[in-house]
């Protein structure tokens, strides 16, 4: 009976959130934070990464909750958002690691440089990028902001941030590989 009651409460909270109730959203966060965080933790394998993912997931849930057509589907919908945010996080971590490894290989030719040397090489390469590429990479990796937060900082659409990030990463890769004149 408790499960059915909890489901009804969640549905009611979702309906109220869809009508703009901030207090209902806060209650929904309190009810679901631990479960969703455990799921994010199981996918990322790292506590801090799971908290980062949850921050992005709750932003997405807040922004999109009005698009949820059936409040009874909140749980699978929220888990799907967390899953997607975890995948984004893992892809970003792989990209950062690849950039540092590429910088280390470029610097020594055999991968024997220290992490600080590699980080210096990446920083030097970032300084060679055009201002808009430098800015989005600095906000993303130096400021640890997500796409939505960068969009707010720069006053541009999130889609523009995504395309600038993609283009800047490609330029950075070319600089690190020595493909830029």
For the segment 103-126, what is each residue's pLDDT rounded down to a tens digit? Answer: 666 655 545 555 566 667 777 888
* Final residue in a domain of this structure, among 86, 115, 138: 86
Query: Is the same domain home to 68 and 116?
Result: no
Query: Is the same domain home to 67 and 93?
Result: no
Torsions phi, psi for 156 (to 5 deg): -130, 165
The better pLDDT of the pair 2, 63 is held by 63
* Final residue in a domain of this structure, among 45, 62, 86: 86
pLDDT digits (tens, 9 = 90+) for 161-177: 889 989 988 888 888 88
CATH value at residue 122: 1.10.10.10
**3-state class of 19 per DSSP?**
coil
* DSSP H or E stretch at residue 34: helix 22-44
How close are the terminal C-alpha atoms of the chain, in Å? 69
pLDDT of residue 109: 54
Q: For a pLDDT cut of 90, what percent of the chain falls above it?
A: 32
Please give the C-alpha separations between residue 96 and each of 102, 144, 169, in angstroms, as whole numbers: 10, 12, 10
Query: Is the same domain home to 80 and 105?
Result: no
Beta strands in 53-107 (DSSP E): none
Residues with Cβ < 8 Å from 136, sequence gap 6 or more?
150, 154, 161, 164, 165, 168
Domain count, the chain: 2
pLDDT of residue 135: 81
Task: Kindly tell me the sign of the dihedral angle through the C-alpha atoms of 68, 74, 77, 81.
Answer: positive
**3-state class of 70 per DSSP?**
coil
Range of the domain at 50: 2-86
How far is it, in rounded angstroms, from Cα 60 to Cα 42?
Answer: 20
Query: Is the same domain home to 53 and 106?
Result: no
Query: Is the same domain home to 75 and 105?
Result: no
* Final residue in a domain of this structure, among 60, 86, 112: 86
Query: Is the same domain home to 153 and 106?
Result: yes
Contact between 179 and 144 (Cβ < 8 Å) = no
pTM: 0.57
- The one-character DSSP state at 155 is T
How far is it, in rounded angstroms, from Cα 160 to Cα 24?
Answer: 32
Segment 128-139 shows an average pLDDT of 83
Does the pLDDT value for residue 1 go beyond 60? no
Could you tell me if residue 20 is left (phi over 0), alpha (psi between -120 and 50 degrees) or otherwise beta? left
């Amino acid at each position: 009976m408790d499960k059915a009651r909890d489901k009804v409460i969640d549905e009611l909270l979702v309906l109220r959130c869809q009508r703009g109730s901030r207090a209902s959203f806060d209650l929904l966060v309190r009810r679901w934070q631990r479960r969703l965080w455990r799921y994010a933790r199981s996918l990322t394998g790292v506590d801090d990464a799971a908290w980062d993912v949850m921050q992005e997931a709750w932003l997405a849930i807040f922004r999109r909750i009005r698009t949820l057509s059936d409040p009874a589907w909140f749980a699978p919908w929220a888990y799907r958002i967390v899953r997607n945010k975890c995948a984004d996080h893992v892809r970003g971590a792989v990209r950062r690691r690849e950039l540092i490894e590429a910088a280390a290989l470029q610097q020594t030719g055999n991968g024997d440089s220290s992490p600080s040397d590699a980080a210096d090489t990446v920083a030097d390469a970032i300084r060679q990028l055009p201002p808009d590429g430098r800015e989005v990479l600095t906000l993303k990796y130096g400021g640890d902001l997500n796409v939505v937060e960068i969009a707010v900082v720069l006053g541009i659409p999130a889609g523009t941030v995504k395309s600038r990030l993609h283009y800047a990463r490609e330029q950075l890769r070319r600089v690190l590989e020595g493909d830029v004149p």
